Amino acid sequence: MNMETLLEARNLWIEVSVNGSWLPAVQDLNFTVYAGEILGIVGESGCGKSLTALSLPGLLPGGTRRRDGSVYFEGRDLTGLCEKELRPVRGRDIAMVFQEPLPSLNPLMSAGRQIAETLELHGQKDRDLNRKKVLELMGQLELPVPEKLINAYPHQLSGGMCQRVMLALALIGRPKLLIADEPTTALDQNTGSQILSLISNSNRERGTSVLFISHDLSAIQKICSRVLVMYSGSIVEEGPVEAVFSRPAHEYTRLLLGAIPDRKRKGRPLANIPGRVPSLEERPGGCPFSGRCPSVQERCLSAFPEERLIAAVDAGTAGRKHSSRCVLYPEGQN
């Protein structure tokens, strides 16, 4: 596997404003997206997945800020760029799709027209050719009867159809990185699987790298090569999907997976762990999962263990490491 680094987040801290004070929502995050891979992020609601995703192309919403850290894209620190310099990066290098496609589409313009305009923006000026390309792209995304869709407005389309149009818009500029934040969560299982296939086709056929955020472990298992497990603003475990799923090395991951790895789990969302993710004000010191962990020890309350290497899955390729921050799983155990 090609292990060239595409994006690297280093020491990323994101804060949100709560009752007039800034509280850390994402803490000291370090991860790499390698060229050509699909990297998953999984974790319960409120763990900081979306803030992490939005911060990469500099799209953090109001009431949130990056306090510290860098985001290197092909070696260039995006956090040092101004809005004007970031715009072409967003259009051309990094594209995003979200859980709710409808608000991202223009309600007053037909789906086909929006695709055509985006093609034009990316330098495709010839109208006839443009129309042909729209139909071709819609065909690739398995949007049925493209001629009809050219005249359909977003509110006339189903959720799955809107998500395909969003994907089409995102992929037109042939981005190097597609960030997909829960793209299938709002869809029924069948439509969701189709969107997953389209994302993995784009990865396979065009080499698009993907950062894929999901609650759905089976979706992660289906299309990702590596996964980051996030809890309460931190990465608690990271590794190749097959290693993390078969030999979880953090109590949080183990519970998410439902204790015993099981083929019947397929299609089920995250297992229900008693308790809930603490609010930003309630976050404990030490391991962020200590308050819900059935195996908690005294030392977990005072310090959050540093990342330890559980296994270097392919010797010599640091990117294939399996690592975790849990006292129960000692270094090099797998």
Ligand X SMILES: Nc1ncnc2c1ncn2[C@@H]1O[C@H](COP(=O)(O)OP(=O)(O)OP(=O)(O)O)[C@@H](O)[C@H]1O
Using CB under 6 A as the criterion, which residues of the chain lie in contact with ligand X when the complex forms?
Answer: 16, 25, 43, 45-51, 61, 63-64, 280
Q: If contact means CB under 5 to 8 A according to the sort of partner, which of Mg ion, ligand X, none does residue 39 touch?
A: none
- CB-nearer residue toward ligand X: 47 or 241: 47
| In the complex, residue closest to Mg ion by CB | 50
Q: Running DSSP on this structure, what letter comes out for residue 194?
A: H
The SS3 of residue 272 is coil
- Residue 61 in tokens: 């919403």
Q: If contact means CB under 5 to 8 A according to the sort of partner, which of ligand X, Mg ion, none does residue 317 touch?
A: none
Contacts with Mg ion in 12-51 (CB under 5 A)? Answer: 50
| CA 119/CA 135 separation, integer angstroms | 12
User: In this structure, which amino acid lies at residue 30?
Assistant: N
- CB-nearer residue toward ligand X: 132 or 268: 268
- CB-nearer residue toward ligand X: 43 or 112: 43
Q: Does 55 bind Mg ion (CB under 5 A)?
A: no
Count of other CB atoms within 10 angstroms of residue 310: 26
Instruction: Please report which residue ranges of 60-145 form alpha helices under DSSP H.
Output: 83-88, 111-121, 127-140
Distance in Å, CB of 181 to ligand X, minimum? 7
- CB-nearer residue toward ligand X: 46 or 284: 46
Distance in Å, CB of 50 to ligand X, minimum? 3
- CB-nearer residue toward Mg ion: 61 or 139: 61
Distance in Å, CB of 62 to ligand X, minimum? 6
Q: If contact means CB under 5 to 8 A according to the sort of partner, which of Mg ion, ligand X, none does residue 27 touch?
A: none
Whether the CB-CB separation of 215 and 186 falls below 8 Å is answered with no
| CA 50/CA 56 separation, integer angstroms | 10
| CA 236/CA 327 separation, integer angstroms | 11
Distance in Å, CB of 123 to ligand X, minimum? 34
- CB-nearer residue toward ligand X: 150 or 235: 235
- Residue 301 in tokens: 């309350």
Distance in Å, CB of 48 to ligand X, minimum? 4
Q: C-alpha angle 148/187/140, rounded to 5°?
A: 45
Q: Running DSSP on this structure, what letter comes out for residue 333?
A: -
> Distance between the two ends of the chain, CA-based, in angstroms?
22
Q: Does 52 bind Mg ion (CB under 5 A)?
A: no
Q: If contact means CB under 5 to 8 A according to the sort of partner, which of Mg ion, ligand X, none does residue 192 touch?
A: none
